[in-house]
Amino acid sequence: MAKQGNILKQLNPHYFWDVDFSKLDPNKAKRLVVERVIAMGTTKEISALVNYYGKEEVIKVITSLNYLDPKTLNFVALYFNISLKSFKCYIRKQLRQQHWNS
């Protein structure tokens, strides 16, 4: 893990509207921080995540998320050069039958 500086100073506090941003611990709430920045952040903020947590740790977190919208999923797959089949949310989506498309 890189742990360079305070990651929260580099992120938009509006991503964390439902928690007290001033009390947010980026190590204890790693999954929350990564999920919000991946879903709503800029590429600069994603780079800050990678610098803080390390690329492997960010990939570990995003591949284990239960949900990513399709646009974000495709973006992070390309950004980190990961197969879609590595994402838990992609596999879960494929397992659910959608009766209206049959």
pLDDT tens track for 2-61: 565 689 999 999 999 999 998 999 999 999 999 999 999 999 999 999 999 999 999 999
Q: Give the C-alpha separation, 85 to 4, whole Å.
A: 31
pLDDT tens track for 53-91: 999 999 999 999 989 888 999 999 999 999 988 888 888
Residue 80 maps to a domain: yes
Residue 1 maps to a domain: no
- Whether pTM > 0.95 for this model: the answer is no
Residue 2 maps to a domain: no
Count how many domains the chain has. Answer: 1
Q: Give the C-alpha separation, 53 to 67, whole Å.
A: 21
- Whole domain around residue 58: which residue ranges? 7-101
